[in-house]
Amino acid sequence: MRKKFAKNIIVLFVFFYAFIGYAQEVLQLKKSLNQAQNDEKIRLYLQLVDVYLQQHNLDSAKYYNNQAVIYAKSTGKEKWLSKIYYKFGDIQYYTGKYEQANRSYIRAQNISLKYHDTLTFVDLLIERGYIYIAWQKNDSTLLLMNKAIKFSQKVNYQKGLARASLVIGNIYHGLNKHQKALEFYYKTLKAAQNISNKKGIGIAYSNIGMCYLEMHQDDAAIENLKKSIAILNDVPDSYIQTGNSYDDLAIIYSRKGNAKLSRQYYTKALDIFKKKGNKEDIAVGYNVVAECLSNLDRYAESNQYLDSAISIAKNIKFGLMLQKSYKSYAENLRHLHQYNKAYTFLDKHNQVKDSLQSEQFHKQLAEMDVKYKSLENQRRIEQLEHKRKLDKARFRILLISGISLILLLLVVAYNIVQKRKKQKEIAELELEKSRIRTQSLSEQLELKNKQLTTHALNMMQKNKLLSDLENHISAIISKIEGEGKTELKKLKREVKHLLNSEKDWDTFKIYFEQVNKDFLSKLKLINPNLTQTDIRLATLLKLNMTNKEIGSILNITHQSVRNALYRLKNKLTLEPEIDLRDFVATL
């Protein structure tokens, strides 16, 4: 009695200090809230919502969430609305209003996509997955989780990858598809390791060990469960997960016939559940002990623990545990050859099973009814809101239209004549300016083209003349001897020098670039390694010179011109079917 009184006093003190701690936190947040602005103010609103949710004070949580919405909209901080509606979903989910929670999460999802907040988008997909699990819609949950994994991989969001993979693993485990569950539990483990999440790593090892246990791969199960315990023992608030791993190890060793190790592990698990867990955890613990004792053929002892599990399950209305315990009890009695009594417990098992199925059916009907009523109310609200907006819009349109019409009649009467007069004057002036500008540009271009062509033709005539002169001098040199021959050779060299002079090309280049401003730069961009000869050849092609004219200007033979054109085409990396002249003309 004294021990129980002392325990109650300790519990009261714990709750008292927790309450004091929450009160201080709330006061501090409210004080900071009064001084904060912009993003910091919204962040503090959301922190207050979290604190009130932990206190189960839903009214205050809703109030501050609404304040966050108002502030975000009034200050143009719409990007925060995804996180704010996320909180609305959490509040509704906490109170079992899954349909409303789902709508809030979807609304938050759409906003997060608009502002490219992929991490929040992934978290919302996972939260919606939990709702679909509650609705027993595994296919819909798998679609959402696979989408979450896809987006998580795209932005390397390891936390989202771990959470989504864990949900999929749990679904496959519930469907007894252990190999498929293992695949996703290993993905969860890898993602948790990537972000050094010790609790996530420990739980992943625990789930992997549980799968191997149910696949009767005991050595692999033991290895992973021991890893889980070693990690979770150093992680605060992981007692229940650690207890579950101890329970799984106890079951494995009982199947192996090792009573000592089995007892060692289920004793540790039961101690944890009694100290840290709730009544449901304790009932599970008793049930595991009973399973281990049954595996060791100690059926009477097993039933003693099942009595404790059944007592708690009845007290807290834990139907699934009650159903399992009755069935295990019947199996133990069968082994003890107490068939009449075994039949009684099997009948109890069937009654609980039927009751649960009936309860589940009625629950689904109720959920469907609530969902229908919720959708119907939402539809009516939307219709009323739509009608209100339409009426308001119509009134505004009529008012604005009336005022606009009056102003228009007053202004049009005065401006119509002036406008026509000014338009005519402006049009005539612009037309004259355009004509003068066009004429001036045309004359300038024509002049520069004439200069360019004239210079090219002069170069051609000069080169032909010098080439003929060189040939004539060569013919004379071959016929005479003596000092005159030496002078003629000297004269021939000077003529050849004139043929190769760069001065004419420099002048030509100035005229050419005035008419074709970007041609040479485009040419160099295609191939920076073009030679001077290549560039000159291209400019003459641009002027539409014939091969004969090009040969005369460059002082090379007709065949040399053809060879040079072939080399230029290769340097410009043109396909065989593309004509070089057409390409240069359009460059």
CA–CA separation, 145 vs 552, rounded Å?
Answer: 77
- When pLDDT is cut at 50, 70 and 90, the band that residue 455 belongs to is low
Torsion of CA 331, 336, 341, 347, to 10 degrees: 10
CA–CA separation, 227 and 248 (whole Å)? 13
More confident residue, 364 or 74: 74
Q: Which residue has the higher pLDDT, 31 or 284?
A: 284
Tens-place pLDDT, residues 305-336: 989 988 888 898 888 888 888 888 889 888 88
* Model pLDDT for residues 199-227, shown as the tens digit of each residue: 999 999 999 999 999 999 999 999 999 99
Using DSSP, state whether 336 is helix, strand or coil.
coil
* pLDDT category of residue 118 using cuts at 50, 70 and 90: very high
Q: Is the pLDDT of residue 383 over 80?
A: no
- Residue 387, pLDDT > 80, answer no
Neighbours of 197 (CB within 10 A): 18
- pLDDT for residue 252: 93
For position 572, what pLDDT does the model report?
86
Tokens at 245, concatenated: 């791993």
Give the integer Cα–Cα distance in Å for 510 and 504: 10
Q: Where are the domains of the chain?
A: 516-587
Q: What is the pLDDT of residue 135?
A: 85
Higher pLDDT, 98 or 364: 98
AA letter at 282: I
Average pLDDT over residues 5-26: 49
User: In Å, how far are 86, 208, 214, 232 from 164, measured between CA atoms?
Assistant: 17, 16, 22, 21
pLDDT of residue 463: 65
Q: Tokens 């010179």: give the residue.
A: 545
* Average pLDDT value for residue range 175-190: 93
Q: How confident is the model at residue 17 (pLDDT cuts 50, 70, 90)?
A: very low
Residue 80 DSSP one-character state: G
Residue 232: Cβ within 10 Å count = 25
Average pLDDT over every residue of 547-567? 85
Between the alpha carbon of residue 356 and those of residues 13, 138, 308, 309, 472, the distances in Å are 39, 20, 21, 18, 120
Neighbours of 165 (CB within 10 A): 25
Contact 341, 333 (CB under 8 A): yes
Instruction: Return the number of other C-beta atoms located less than 10 Å from residue 403's C-beta.
Output: 10
Place of tokens 């003190």: 13
Over residues 105-122, the mean pLDDT reads 91
In this prediction, residue 22 has a pLDDT band, given cuts at 50, 70 and 90, of low
The secondary element (H helix, E strand) that includes residue 517 is none
Q: What is the pLDDT of residue 153?
A: 93
Q: How many other C-beta atoms lie within 10 A of the C-beta of residue 554?
A: 21
How many percent of the chain have pLDDT more than 70?
Answer: 83
Residues 323, 304: contact at Cβ < 8 Å?
A: no
List pLDDT tens digits, range 510-534: 777 777 778 888 888 888 888 888 8
CA distance 163 to 161: 6
Comparing 385-399, 411-425, 545-559, the range with the smallest average pLDDT is 385-399
Residue 19's pLDDT is what? 44
**161 pLDDT above the threshold of 90:** yes
pTM above 0.75, yes or no: no
- 112 versus 237: which is more confidently predicted? 112
| Cα separations in angstroms, 67 against 36, 38, 84, 240 | 14, 13, 10, 37
Task: Give the C-alpha separation, 428 to 443, whole Å.
Answer: 22
pLDDT at 554 over 70: yes
Q: Is a pLDDT exceeding 80 seen at residue 168?
A: yes
Residues 6+ apart with CB under 8 A from 335: 294, 297, 299
Q: Please, what is the average pLDDT of the chain? A: 81
Say which CATH architecture domain 516-587 belongs to: Orthogonal Bundle (1.10)
Q: With 80 as the cut, is the pLDDT of residue 413 above it? A: no
Cα gap 150→140, rounded to integer Å: 16
